[in-house]
Every structure is written in structure tokens, then in C-alpha cells.
Structure 1
């Protein structure tokens, strides 16, 4: 950062990795929304965050120095989520309209979910507050309150979430899902970006590219006691996208919710009290929300983020815990349609076995790869994939998960 900007409240972008439009942004309204009236913004200093785990967006912390009405100064900070300067990634995000979708979530849908609870006397917060830049620059971005300055943090990604953490997240997820079901009842169906999302025939090539299983299967073949499972999955790439497109079509005969779609450890923020007890749980990153069976979020959350010692052993307990909170919230919000039944949720979990396989073969290896290992590999995709699938901790966990999936019939999705 060179000279800080002064009274106009604009940020300067000296770093070539930062968005070229960053110097033109003005944050008067966002600052006012956070601290009330003030005299002027003295400087805005952008700092790229250390989050190397967000592949689809560039995360920048904006440190804002403000002169108050009594001429004292105060520091305020925001997190700006913007498109990467990487043209290929920007083109993909643009085609999938992920930023527009996330903006709609933060500014329109989530406030309505929270209002549903406020209307029945319950205060609940699902995500950080979102703000707008003062002027429309014609660019995609999301501007959020900085949860880190409020002492929110992620739990240990490599260790996974223990039962206490999982219960807190499942409780919040159940409240989120219940609100989405009641939202549809009161406001009508979500738009196509949520009912179809990325799962359209137009995106077939992208889906094939992102979900190719070659690197995973090449290692699976070598794992002891996995020969039969390998044989079952060996040709799965031939029909996997067909099944994905089929499974992700919304069945109106089922109980459906708006799934977060990317509900894993790093998209969950916790606030702890002085004794380490969880006081609050919030979700971030709402780019890939999808309306459909809650089985999708349950598999994603539990199989990607629960600690290895509870992932399968406590799976049914966690589903039951979620279900009880879901029904409790639906009753509280005066949901008028028939309440879901636990047996129907289990039937949905059985039908969506492919979702479980996708999580353990695509998401879990990323979750379990040590960030230091990742950094040493640079941008060589084949090296990263090899490291993911040969990681001994991952192989160990999968030696328990794959037979568990197979015994439940969750790999029989041909």
C-alpha cells in the first residue's frame, strides 16, 4: 500500500493481484451502517486474506480508518469477496452466475429467513451482515462484515468437528432449512438459479471436468480390501454426470429445502466464550445453494467435516439430531404442509448415495490435505491430486467410510 486515500474513502490497489477497480470503491454507506454517523474516512487499506482455501473468489480485508464526529479515530474492517484476476476462473463464475446468486442470498433471501424467526419472537442470525459499495461499478462482488474482528473463527480443519461442534452446526442448519421451506410456502418457489443451479445440460462439460474420478480411482485400485468397491466404481465416469443431472432434479413429492451446498468446516464460523464454549455459529459462502433434498447438505457436512471418530459411528445420531431440530423449527414457523418424517429423510439419504460418494471422493481429500503440503505443490493440478489421494490420513479414513457407504447401498447408483 502506498499513500492511504483520504477524505473520499476510496481504496488504493497497488498490488497487481487486487481487483483493478478497487481504488474506485467508496464505503461511506457501509461504514455508516456499521458505526453510525462520522466525520470522514481517512484511509482504506486493502489486505489480501490468508485464506488459500477459497478457490472461486479473491478475498480482501479492507481496513478503514474513520474520523468520528468528535474528531477521534476508529478502525472498521470489512471483507470484500471479488472475482479472481484469473480469466478462466472469472469466465466460469460468470457463466454460472455465482456472484449474482450469492449477492441475492446475502441481501434478499437470508434477511427474509431471519425475519421469519423474528416474526415468531426468535432472534437468529445465519451469516455475516452484507453491505453495498456506494456506487455501482458494474462488477461482481460481495462486501461483508469482518467476523474475525468479532473473534469468530474456524475450528481445526484437519481434526474435524467434534460432536459438540457438529450439534451446533446441525442445529443452525436445521433452522436454515426450516426457514427455506417456510419461505417457499409464503413467497413461492426459488428462481431457476436455485432450483437448477449448476446442474443443467448446458453445464455438462464443466460438470464432467470438475467431477472426473480418474485420479481417485487410480489410487482406490491400490487400497487393500477395496478391490470390490473399485470394480463397482471403475466405469462410473461414463454415467456419473447423467446421474448427477437426474438426482439433482427437484421432486415436488418430497420435502425440499434450500441447501447451503458448500457446508464444510471452512464455511462455518464459531464464536467461543471465555471457557471455550460455543456461543454462536454462522455460515459463509453462499455461491452454490441448491433447492432439493436436505440429504445433500447432511452428507456434505457430516462426511466432509465431522471428526473421523464420529463420522460414521454417530451418523444416524446426527441425522436424528438434525431432524428433531428441523421439525421443531417448522412448527415454530407455523409450516402448513405435512411435517417431514424421519423414515422419509432416511429414504432420501438412501436415494442420494451419489451425493455421499461425491463428498468423500472430491471434498474430503481437499479437507484432509495439510495446507503446508498444498503450498509446496504450487499450481500443478496432477501433483495436488496425487497428494490428496495418497495422503495416509485420508486413505485411513476412507478404509472405514467406503465399506460403510457400500453396506448401506450408497454406491449402487449405476
Structure 2
């Protein structure tokens, strides 16, 4: 936590990890949008929230004390998402234009998705509300309502999402996907940042580095009963990026949606009632949305975040649950094109086997790693190779993968190689 004092509606902080432009930020319009008219802002206290769980951006909670018109005080808070001071990460984000894409999602596209439902008579919310700071400093940022003040929280990452949680997420994902299909039908194709996204030939080297399988394959080779699967994947890095670029091209012959692209436990927020039942489910982090087959989000969500005991055993049930809600929402929004069929969705899942492999080899080990075991070791935090070894030697992950990999192989999902 950093100390802050208020001068003319701006936050001042001595925390060097925070953006240098933060002291100049003025929040009057954002506060007014959230609570209505007020007398003045008394103080803004920035707190870095980051982030063992967040790698690419800096998250700052801005606690704002406001004097109301009746001279009483009220506390409001926002979450500011900004670039790290880390130059390498900032360059990658700039090159991929991820902040600009997320800003477009929060301020332009998501409100239009929500408007489709509102106009049809069923209000829905997909994400936290977004605001603008009062002046443009020429920096990339996203300013959001602080969902914590409405008692939203993540479910337990290590335990995974049980069937009840998964059903709520699948319902909201189906509604989101349906809105995107109707939006494209009414407004035309989304821009290249969504139809191509990061999957461009100009990003080949970056994709090669991010998706290299060497550390995973080195451990897979040692796992019990996985020798044949290792042999099948041993040379996969040679053409993995070629296949990625090919698979992520949009086929206009298929039913397509705007995928969230990073739909895992920590990007899903739940609000519960007094009895612990889920009241609302919202998504956060819209930097890597990609237009294409819904198979991408389904693999990402289920294989990364469903609890281990339902990940495989309830996989087809969860796909069907999603599909039924997708169709209901498409009909509700009066989608005019031919409705997708369940068999077509399963065919898309079969064609996108690489997406399933990428999730279980790249995302799932991160999800399952208990970082508290290692956070005291500075050398561990700064040594990427040690992190990878820890991820791929994690016994819970290894045990689960000895069940998942044969399941993938039996479905033909590893035959992309």
C-alpha cells in the first residue's frame, strides 16, 4: 500500500512502481458518473493490487474520498489498469495494441452488446463499467468500477470451478457469444484487431517464443504411460505456429463469435447472495478477444478452469449446456442467419484440437501452480526456467495430465501435429 495525499483532485504517491503520470490523474467525471453530483474530491489513495496473478499489466486500486453536496463524505473506488514500468512488456503490449483493443471493448463494443439485450427487454451486464480520466495524457489505460465494492470475487483458482459455477459462466459466455453474432449480423464484420488479432505473420517470432513447448515436452517424456503421446508431439514446435496461424483464420462457412480469448478463473468474477448462491457473473480482461469459432473459448474455459473431477467427465454435458443457452439467446435476439447445430459445434471442437493442446500445456500448468510455495524466493521469481520446471513437475498437474492427454488423444485432438 502506498501513501497518497490529495491536491486539487489528483493522486500523489511515492510508490515508484506506479505510473509516473498517476499524480496528474483527475477523476471528477468518473466519480460523477458513479455517484452523481458532489462538492469535491478530498483525497485519492492509490494502492498497487498486483499481482502475482497478473503478468502483463499494472493494476492500481484508486480509493477516493468525496465530499457530497450535504458536506457528508463518501468513499468510492476504481481499478486503473495501466502499463508496467517494465520496458520489454510495455513494448510487447504496444506492438500488439492490446490496450487500445481493450479500451474499444469496454467503451464501444460491450455497451453495444448489452444494448442489444436491453432493447429486447432483458437487461444484462457482461463486465464492470468503464470510465475515462478527465484529461488525455497520451498513455494507455483502462479505468473500471471496482467490483470488490459490490462483493464480487474470484472463485478458488486451485480448486477450480464446480459444476454450479461452470453453468453460470457458460450461461454468460453463451449470452456474450450470441450478442457478438447478432452484432456482426447487424453492423458488419469486426475490425482486423479482432478477426486477426495477434495471429498475424508479423508476430511469428513472438508467437514462436510464447508458445514454445520445450519445457513441457521435456517433462512429458518422463511421465508414466505418456511415451506414445510424447512421440506424437516431440517435433510439434517445428510447425506449431504455422498451424496456429492457419487455425485462427476466420472461416465464413462456420458459425463464428467474438471469443473472450482469456476466459479462465481469474478473469471471471462472482457475486453471491447471503446464502452463498451465485447472483451475478461478470468477465474482466478483454485484451485478446478474437473473432472465430466458439470452440476456442469452450476449450479455454473448461480445460483451464473447471474443477479436475468434472473437466473430462462433464465436458460434453458442459458443451451441450452452453449450446442450449447459445440457441436460446440467438432466438431471443432474433438472429436471422441459420442457427448453429450441436453437431457443427462438435465438429468445430474436433477441428480445433490445437486449441485444446495449447490450453492444457500452456494455461493449465499456470492455473494449477500454487505460487505461495515459491514466492519467498526472489531468484525463483526472476528465473523463468525454474518457474517452468515447477509448473511441469507439479504432481497435481502431472496426475491430471495423465488423464487429460489420453482423453485428448482418443478424441483425435492431438492429430493436428
What band does the TM-score fall into relative to the shorter chain? over 0.9
Q: What corresponds to 2:290 in structure 1?
A: 290
Q: What corresponds to 1:63 in structure 2?
A: 63
For residues 9-408 of structure 1, the aligned pairs below 5 Å read: 9-375=9-375, 376=377, 377-408=380-411
User: 1:13, 1:20 within 8 Å by CA — same for their partners in 2?
Assistant: no
User: 1:64, 1:76 within 8 Å by CA — same for their partners in 2?
Assistant: yes
User: 2:4, 2:13 within 8 Å by CA — same for their partners in 1?
Assistant: no
* 1-structure distance, mates of 2:341, 2:56: 36
CA deviation string 1:50-108 (max 9, x = no partner): 43211110000000010111111111000000000000000000000000000000000
User: 1:43, 1:64 within 8 Å by CA — same for their partners in 2?
Assistant: yes
Instruction: Identify if the C-alpha distance between structure 1 residues 194 and 3 changes in structure 2 by more than 3 Å, giving closer, same or farther.
Output: closer
* 1-structure distance, mates of 2:246, 2:3: 53
Instruction: Identify if the C-alpha distance between structure 1 residues 2 and 226 changes in structure 2 by more than 3 Å, giving closer, same or farther.
Output: closer
Secondary structure of 2:6's aligned partner: coil
User: 2:11, 2:46 within 8 Å by CA — same for their partners in 1?
Assistant: yes
C-alpha deviation, 1:269, in angstroms: 0.1
C-alpha deviation, 1:149, in angstroms: 1.1
C-alpha deviation, 1:2, in angstroms: 4.7
Which consecutive residues of structure 1, in runs of 5 or more, have no partner in the other structure? none
Secondary structure of 1:197's aligned partner: coil
User: 2:39, 2:71 within 8 Å by CA — same for their partners in 1?
Assistant: yes
Which consecutive residues of structure 2, in runs of 5 or more, have no partner in the other structure? none
* 2-structure distance, mates of 1:309, 1:89: 36
Secondary structure of 1:378's aligned partner: helix
Instruction: Identify if the C-alpha distance between structure 1 residues 269 and 2 changes in structure 2 by more than 3 Å, giving closer, same or farther.
Output: closer
Q: Which runs of 4+ in 1 moved over 3 A?
A: none
User: 1:259, 1:289 within 8 Å by CA — same for their partners in 2?
Assistant: yes
* 2-structure distance, mates of 1:294, 1:29: 37
Aligned residues: 413
Higher mean Cα deviation, 119-128 or 367-376? 367-376
The root-mean-square deviation of aligned C-alpha atoms, in Å, is 0.7
Q: What corresponds to 2:5 in structure 1?
A: 4
* 2-structure distance, mates of 1:266, 1:83: 19
Report the TM-score when normalising by structure 1.
0.99
User: 2:3, 2:46 within 8 Å by CA — same for their partners in 1?
Assistant: no
User: 2:130, 2:143 within 8 Å by CA — same for their partners in 1?
Assistant: yes
Secondary structure of 1:401's aligned partner: helix
User: 2:50, 2:60 within 8 Å by CA — same for their partners in 1?
Assistant: no
User: 2:117, 2:123 within 8 Å by CA — same for their partners in 1?
Assistant: yes
C-alpha deviation, 1:3, in angstroms: 5.4
CA deviation string 1:233-289 (max 9, x = no partner): 000000000000000000000000000000000000000011110000000000000
Secondary structure of 2:232's aligned partner: helix
* 1-structure distance, mates of 2:4, 2:383: 37
Secondary structure of 1:198's aligned partner: coil
CA deviation string 1:147-199 (max 9, x = no partner): 01110000000000000000000000000000000000111110000000000
* 1-structure distance, mates of 2:55, 2:373: 17
Report the TM-score when normalising by structure 2.
0.98
* 2-structure distance, mates of 1:184, 1:2: 46
Secondary structure of 2:158's aligned partner: coil
User: 1:13, 1:19 within 8 Å by CA — same for their partners in 2?
Assistant: no
C-alpha deviation, 1:13, in angstroms: 2.6
* 2-structure distance, mates of 1:223, 1:391: 12
User: 2:4, 2:11 within 8 Å by CA — same for their partners in 1?
Assistant: no
CA deviation string 1:376-414 (max 9, x = no partner): 321210000000000000001101000000000000002
Secondary structure of 1:4's aligned partner: strand
* 2-structure distance, mates of 1:100, 1:115: 22
C-alpha deviation, 1:300, in angstroms: 0.0
* 1-structure distance, mates of 2:217, 2:295: 25
